[in-house]
Structure 1
Amino acid sequence: MIPMATVRERWASFLGAFVTTAMGVAVITLSALILLSGGPGVPERLAGAPVLVRSPEGARTGGVFAQNPPWSPERAERLRRALVDLPGVAAAVADRSFYAQAAGTRQRAGERQGHSWPSAALASYGLSAGGPPVADDDIVVDRALGHSPGDRITVLTAHGPRRFTVSGTMEGPGYWTTGHRAAELAGGVRAIGLVLEPGTDAGAVAAAARGVVGGAGEVLRGAARDELAPPQDEMTRWIGAQVLTAMTALSAFVTVLVVSSGFAFTVAQRRRDLGLLRTIGATPRQLRRLLYGEALTVGVIGGAAGAPLGALLAPALAGVFVDAGFQPAGFEVRMRPWVLAAAFVLGLLVALAGVWSASRRAAGIAPLEAMREAEVDSRAMTRRRWVTGTVAAALGLACAVGTAFAGPDAMVLLCLGAAMGLTTGLTLLIPALVGPVAGVLTRPLARRPGAVALLVRANMVTAVRRTSATVAPVLATVAFATLITSAVQTTAAADAAGRAAAVRAEAAVVPRGTPGLSDAAAAGVRGTALLSTTVYGGQGASALSAAGVSPGFGRVYGAPAPRARTVVVTRAVAAAHGWRPGRTAALTFEDGRTVRLPVLAVADDSLPYQLFLPRELVRAHDPSALADVVYRTGGPPARPAPVLGAHEVPVAEYAAAADAEDDRLVRIFTLILTAMTSGYTAIAVAATLLAATVDRARDLHTLRLSGATRRQVLLAVAGETVCVVALGAALGVAVATPVLLGMVHGLGTALGVPVALEVAWPWVAAAAGGCLLLGVAAAVLPARAGLRGRALAGR
């Protein structure tokens, strides 16, 4: 019969591995389900057309989301005429959209809620009251706005506020004007919807349309029509995918780290038992099979619990993501049984990977280990561990150095690689570091009188494996909390400093309640207005962010302002497309027209736009373009009318708030990752200390028999936990420091301004403090219960 104490020790040892594996499988399951659930569906305003034809897709760049390049007006009309002649097609409607916003409502940047009335035939909803617009000052609006036919309404457009008469209301969102008025306010055509005659087969029409369109576009039907969702929704889903991918990668990494650390500690606890097995004839291979069997059991039970848990939590997390802005409105999770099966299998592989190192150590235990009684770990480091830990730490340091010279995109990957490499390396090297570092940390205890300080110092230095197993998860959580939060704060401060330093202006006029500034809002302000648009050019008709500026102003963000019919490009764009001063760049604008412009100059990559164009040229080809900001360079403070949706702020304030939405998403992203890492650490620290305390019950009782009071024993246990957590926190900060310093140097070089390191000390303190509170509770409470049980048994 197995003694009850041994059962408790085994249960405590494997509890952390089981819960960690279950959590890892749950995170992988819910992340995969959300990632594979697709988009929010076909946009309602186009869902009434069974077949849609869209313009050809341009070259895509990671993290850049824009609509496809529009057709030229002539090609769009030729395609529409050819499509309307197909059998079964009742109408072929060119979709035109423009910026329109009723006063008092809100819109996201880039939204185009204005449409021409003919395209209302493509919507899945129709009129609720009144009739279609007839005169150019008529408009049909969403019934939810609360207007009735005959009401007068002010609608903001790119040119300024306009007064319209409500001719009717719709059952869905949008502003619908006559085709003539829409042609004045809208850009080019990117989609043509086919309205079919009753009883017509949509598949046959789609096949015929492909023959007509050829390479001039793409024919969509059924669920494929959701590809016409707004770029803002696509960007939102992309951001959510980055969060989920990071969650999955971090979950797998920490799960392997915690499981391997837990099993290593288990082997250290059970070395006498394993030595007895070796004494009675067990081979190293059998010991490895024993541990792999235990890990497989943990993986099976953890996976079986984690996969259904992830499926249950996925809808709730999807709702949180929608509210936070990581998924578009209307997003729903679609269950896929194969995802649960794949996550279960992955959980098994993670558990087996975590036990690999511990199984090799178990196989090396000699029969004489059964005779050992002392807790002194004389050989905690093996040659393989030395080599692996040193290589991992060296790779991490190399990545940290690389961040000092890498670009913004590579910097993120290098930071992640440096954090993982240094965390893995120091985790493997902890047994070698525990002695000297613990000696330094506990040196003040050596000068304190009494047995408690002596016990704390002796236990930390001699019980290397137990100390290492507890330090590892604390190191991981403090390292990632310090790195993630401090990197976010440092990057945000550096971007704001770079934008502010690049602008020479007295103030900034910025939008208030609108996605941009209309011409009326920018009028009367003496300064530089940045009229934002997207153009398509270079290899593969890449989407490029551009700003139109008035040529009368000398320099913008340190770059020369373009003269009439010229373009200024950034260094990266020039290198990608072979443009240099004097050469000609062919650019397609929002109305579908292609214009060839000579390159005036090449500017720095730190600019917020990829191209600068003459403002008049942008306005002529993009009637819906809005200005992101107007930098006032003289004259009295701007006082635009409230209806224009604009107000004036200091340049530094605008620079800090320019990426307010992105910063909000990053803060939520940071909170999710930090909370998840801390959750793993909480489990690992609690389970390790619980197992260690249960395993030490006999030692603690021996201390009581030697004359120590219960208070002294509990103080020794608590003091040891405090020192272990302090050691882990110190090593965690040490892991993050070189990465952050490299990032600061890289940001300063890229932006050309001094960058200061912003350490998020409250987050660091919260992570370390949480580990401390949980660790003390997990160590002291079982010790207190064990001492009480021993006392009762002694009676």
Structure 2
Amino acid sequence: MLSATLNTTLQTLRHRWPTFVGSFVALSLGVALIAVMGLALASSQDAPPRGPERFAVAPVVVKGQDTLTVPTSLDDRTQKLAQPRPVPDGVVAKLRRLGTVVQDRSFTVRAERGPADLVGHPWSTAAFAPYELDAGRAPRAADEVVVSGDWARPGTRLRTGDGTVRVVGTVAGLGFESAVFYTDARAAQLSPRSLQLVVDADASAVREAVRGSGDDGDGGQVLTGKGAQVLTGKEAQVLTGKGATALTGKGAAVLTRKGAAVLPGNGAQVLTGDARRYADADPDRDSEALTAMNAMFGTAGGVTGFVSVFVVASTFAFAVAQRRREFGLLRTAGATPGQIRRMVATEALVVGVLASAAGCALGSYGAPKLAAWAVHESLAPRWFTIGDYTWPYHLAFWTGLFVALCGAVAASWRAGRTGPTEALREASVDARAMTWGRWLVGSVLLATAAVTLVLALVTSPGDLLQRKTYISRPMLLITAVALLAPVLVRPLARLLAWLPARLPGAGGMLVRENAAAGVRRTAAVAAPVLVTVALAGSLLGATATLGGAKATEIRERTAADFVVTPAGDAGFDAATLKRLRAVPGGTAAAASSSSAVYVLEDGVALIKSDARAVEPGPFAATARLPLTAGKVRDLDDDSIIVNEEWARHTVGERVDVWLGDGTRKSLEVAAVMTTGTGNNGVYVTPRNAPTAPVDRVDVRLAPGADPATVASGLRAAVRASGGEVLTRDAWVRAMSPETNRTTRTGLFMVLGIALLYTGISVANTMVMATSDRVRELAVLRLAGATGPQVLRLVGAEALMVVMVGGLLGALVAALNLVGMWSALGLLSVWTSIEIPWATLGAVLGACAVLAVISAVAPAGLALRRGGMSVAGVRE
């Protein structure tokens, strides 16, 4: 029996090769997509070990406290401090007695025609990388600099935000930064706070000096070359792993082997060996890059996996549905339902195995291409490559085979259960396109999408604004609509063809009736168009709508006429602030600083909230916060303005917080803001952010003041220190949040892959569908239709099917965006729904072109090769 089934299968594959080629192409591409994303995701799990960069040859680096550690009942929680602490003066004094101490400073430099990532340092730190002069000399005056790389040569004059400087030397770039070296004195002026220093002394002596300067502070921290461990409290703790053991107490610590960093009570860290990398500008960039890549490839893998499985299942189901006449003939010849099902399963197994193997091979070729593209687009670090992993191939292969078997067997179940006469009758027209199983699953998924949306709106509307939510929710709705598509295809086709059917000639009527009668064919071709349009509209529309909502929040909160920002990281000094406040025509000049506040919620979660340190009086005159309780003017040094996301957000209630420099303090809630789009932050007074530089000054015009005169005065006030004066509208445009570049590019990557796959699937399915309509086209020719008329009819039908898929996809996208818009309204943010019309038009246009070409080309070949003879008629 098995050999007979296999022989029948091979004969069927030979005689119906167009159908099986179409299934093979769809499945192999789907498996390739899953393999590529699986390989990329697996390769983004680990980063290569990285040593110190800026301080590769430095003897010992001492760094101030830059983390906040809070013990909880579960574990210690750690957050980066918004205002890291410098090395205490007492420690610096003791270190100077041990050897030469070089203060390190890093600050942003903006230069015309220079790299965007320029960073300034004192020249005395260049030797620790090491940088070596390859042209010119070291800087000696305040207006002289040395630059890394070849973008400027000695003698070049550069205009920077802090004045014009002259390049007097160059050093070879080391790849991890674009550096500008100033004299030590000038660097100290541009960046007064030094957070770390290099000590030319014995490491053990430095450790002893730092340890001896400790106090009974709240905690300590030990960082080893392989990572970081946090020690808090006054009780001893033991760190294990790789031979590391450390004990805290009153500032005491036992150091590990491969270099160490010690934070006793004073917060200072001693870095040697590999641990010196923690003094680099961004020591966590590898882990952050891995997190970003995991999110990007995870999202891309999930969406492309869904698209591929969706399209493959639809293609296989359509391929089996095309053969109902064949199944009817077999039933008439005496074949049992079980024999038909075994034959179909064997065919799916043969095609599935071959296509899945081909897809894995194609994936192994495509994965390195994707990795190279990600590195080129700066979405992945330079070290990212595809590793040697096997589980993605297993996942892709078995997923493809499983989907092929499920799609084919499920579609053949109905054909196997029908009688011979009924099967032959159903082969002529799709009278019953919906089975009870399809009704059940589609209805359940649709109900699930509706119920979960309502529950989210009632309980936690903010969850609908999260990326993982607005990416995953469309998939549920797409599947539900696709399953119920046969119910919607007929009325949509009649609606779209209503006007063409009333035009002279029978073309419009034939298009309408063919699309309405061939429900399965129409639904199968419309499926890939549906998924692509729905994803494009939902994902791009969600990010655009959310970005518009955030821009609306910024616009509504800004009551100032001008916003002034500094040129460098040091912020505005007291003299510049005095000049800004003295500009005639301004009634209020509200200076503010960026900081952060940390709160322990539920006793286990250390939450960081962005904070702005503001002067309550002037700020109240230049801002319109969306308050639900309290007043801005009630803010003082003992209070805080929070938002409704905080666990404690009742006016008058006290909350225990840690300020941006790690200082613990109890503050009273002075006012409460709405939740909005999330991360509204908090507001404190400047005394609760003492080291945060002023990075923004909001100015409001006095009644009758001339805006141009005031703007000119503000520019004159910041000319000496450097700064930019923006109008309110310009400020709103500059601050309007854009989608994170990684997220945006990841979405376009997903949509690009989906569109490519959709295009191939549309072409593939159209070829399959058209090859099965040779007799129908021959009958049209016998009825008097010319060849061009038949081809125009076929092209119009293909266009009709694409329009049906586009309408269904637009419906799904609209429902998703309405859900997000409703959530924004419940969060007190009213904005318009942003629909990416241009993208949707491009997607539909591309699908339409491919569908028409893929339908007309095989139809034309069939007619040219004598397709009329297939109907048993000779010309």
What's the TM-score, normalizing by structure 1?
Answer: 0.81
Q: 2:658 aligns with which of 572, 579, 587?
A: 587
- Does 2:390 match 1:333? no
**Superposition deviation, residue 50 in structure 1:** 8.9
**Superposition deviation, residue 728 in structure 1:** 1.1
**Superposition deviation, residue 299 in structure 1:** 1.4
Q: Distance in 1 between matches of 2:408 and 2:814?
A: 30
Aligned to 1:253: 306
Aligned to 2:848: 772
CA deviations on 1:725-777 (whole Å, 9 max, x unpaired) are 11111111111112212212222332x34312222222222221211111111
Q: Distance in 1 between matches of 2:650 and 2:101?
A: 38
The 1:510–1:162 alpha-carbon spacing in structure 2 relative to 1, beyond 3 Å, is: closer
Query: What SS is found at the alignment partner of 1:365?
Result: helix
CA deviations on 1:359-397 (whole Å, 9 max, x unpaired) are 123244237459626431233222221111111112223
Q: How does 1:624-703 map to 2 (within 5 A)?
A: 625=693, 627-628=695-696, 630-634=698-702, 636-637=710-711, 638-640=714-716, 645-659=722-736, 662=739, 668-703=745-780
Q: 1:524 aligns with which of 565, 569, 580?
A: 580
Q: Distance in 1 between matches of 2:520 and 2:830?
A: 44
**Superposition deviation, residue 655 in structure 1:** 1.8
Q: 2:402 aligns with which of 352, 364, 367?
A: 352
CA deviations on 1:7-41 (whole Å, 9 max, x unpaired) are 233223432332333244334434543x3463895
- Does 2:526 match 1:471? yes
Aligned residue pairs, count: 760
Q: Distance in 1 between matches of 2:391 and 2:279?
A: 29
Q: Distance in 1 between matches of 2:772 and 2:757?
A: 22
Q: Which moved more, 1:209-218 or 1:120-129?
A: 209-218
- Normalized per residue, which structure has more helix? 1
Larger Rg: 2
The 1:409–1:639 alpha-carbon spacing in structure 2 relative to 1, beyond 3 Å, is: farther
Q: Distance in 2 between matches of 1:226 and 1:346?
A: 39
Give the fraction of aligned pairs with identical amino acids, expressed as a percent.
Answer: 26
Aligned to 1:45: 54
The 1:299–1:77 alpha-carbon spacing in structure 2 relative to 1, beyond 3 Å, is: farther
CA deviations on 1:52-108 (whole Å, 9 max, x unpaired) are 787575479xxxx984577755779769979x99xxxx9897975443526537687
Q: Distance in 2 between matches of 1:276 and 1:193?
A: 90
Query: Residue 314 of structure 2 aligns to which amino acid in structure 1?
Result: S
Q: Distance in 1 between matches of 2:121 and 2:597?
A: 21
The 1:139–1:726 alpha-carbon spacing in structure 2 relative to 1, beyond 3 Å, is: same
Q: CA RMSD in A?
A: 4.5
Q: Which moved more, 1:16-25 or 1:165-174?
A: 165-174
Q: Distance in 2 between matches of 1:139 and 1:72?
A: 30
The 1:212–1:240 alpha-carbon spacing in structure 2 relative to 1, beyond 3 Å, is: closer
- Does 2:612 match 1:547? yes
Q: 1:372 aligns with which of 415, 424, 428?
A: 424
- Does 2:480 match 1:425? yes
Q: Which moved more, 1:91-100 or 1:474-483?
A: 91-100
Q: Distance in 1 between matches of 2:124 and 2:772?
A: 78
Query: Residue 372 of structure 1 aligns to which amino acid in structure 2?
Result: L
The 1:107–1:484 alpha-carbon spacing in structure 2 relative to 1, beyond 3 Å, is: same
Q: Distance in 2 between matches of 1:669 and 1:342?
A: 20
Aligned to 1:782: 858
Query: What SS is found at the alignment partner of 2:611?
Result: strand
Aligned to 1:757: 833
Q: Distance in 2 between matches of 1:364 and 1:14?
A: 23
The 1:791–1:616 alpha-carbon spacing in structure 2 relative to 1, beyond 3 Å, is: same
Query: Residue 28 of structure 2 aligns to which amino acid in structure 1?
Result: F
Aligned to 1:456: 511
CA contact (8 A) 1:13 1:691 kept: no
Q: 1:299 aligns with which of 356, 361, 365?
A: 356
Aligned to 2:36: 26
Q: How does 1:255-294 map to 2 (within 5 A)?
A: 255-274=308-327, 279-280=334-335, 283=339, 284-285=341-342, 287-294=344-351
The 1:717–1:670 alpha-carbon spacing in structure 2 relative to 1, beyond 3 Å, is: same
Query: What SS is found at the alignment partner of 2:618?
Result: coil
Q: Distance in 2 between matches of 1:268 and 1:355?
A: 14
Q: Distance in 2 between matches of 1:280 and 1:436?
A: 37
Aligned to 1:207: 257
Query: Residue 353 of structure 1 aligns to which amino acid in structure 2?
Result: V
**Superposition deviation, residue 486 in structure 1:** 2.3
Q: Distance in 2 between matches of 1:116 and 1:147?
A: 19
Q: Distance in 1 between matches of 2:511 and 2:137?
A: 84
- Does 2:746 match 1:740? no
Q: Distance in 1 between matches of 2:807 and 2:570?
A: 47
Query: Residue 302 of structure 1 aligns to which amino acid in structure 2?
Result: G
CA contact (8 A) 1:210 1:218 kept: yes
The 1:226–1:297 alpha-carbon spacing in structure 2 relative to 1, beyond 3 Å, is: farther
CA contact (8 A) 1:390 1:425 kept: yes
- Does 2:768 match 1:708? no
CA contact (8 A) 1:419 1:480 kept: yes
**Superposition deviation, residue 286 in structure 1:** 5.4
Aligned to 2:674: 604
- Does 2:483 match 1:411? no
- Does 2:435 match 1:390? no
Query: What SS is found at the alignment partner of 1:335?
Result: coil
CA contact (8 A) 2:791 2:856 kept: yes
CA contact (8 A) 1:395 1:418 kept: no
Q: Distance in 2 between matches of 1:642 and 1:790?
A: 83
Q: Distance in 2 between matches of 1:782 and 1:538?
A: 67
CA contact (8 A) 2:461 2:823 kept: yes
Query: Residue 19 of structure 1 aligns to which amino acid in structure 2?
Result: L
CA deviations on 1:122-155 (whole Å, 9 max, x unpaired) are 42434557888899x6986434575769x99887
Q: Distance in 2 between matches of 1:248 and 1:220?
A: 41
Query: What SS is found at the alignment partner of 1:258?
Result: helix
Query: Residue 358 of structure 1 aligns to which amino acid in structure 2?
Result: A
- Does 2:637 match 1:565? yes
CA contact (8 A) 1:292 1:359 kept: no
Query: Residue 44 of structure 1 aligns to which amino acid in structure 2?
Result: E
Q: Which moved more, 1:231-240 or 1:482-491?
A: 231-240
CA deviations on 1:610-629 (whole Å, 9 max, x unpaired) are 232333653x423xx35156
**Superposition deviation, residue 253 in structure 1:** 0.6
CA contact (8 A) 1:101 1:155 kept: yes
**Superposition deviation, residue 494 in structure 1:** 2.0
Query: Residue 777 of structure 2 aligns to which amino acid in structure 1?
Result: L
CA deviations on 1:554-588 (whole Å, 9 max, x unpaired) are 52442615755344242256427x89646364434
Q: Distance in 1 between matches of 2:166 and 2:500?
A: 82
**Superposition deviation, residue 165 in structure 1:** 9.7
- Does 2:288 match 1:230? no
- Does 2:66 match 1:12? no
Query: What SS is found at the alignment partner of 1:547?
Result: strand
The 1:286–1:714 alpha-carbon spacing in structure 2 relative to 1, beyond 3 Å, is: closer
Q: 1:113 aligns with which of 108, 116, 119?
A: 119
**Superposition deviation, residue 208 in structure 1:** 7.3
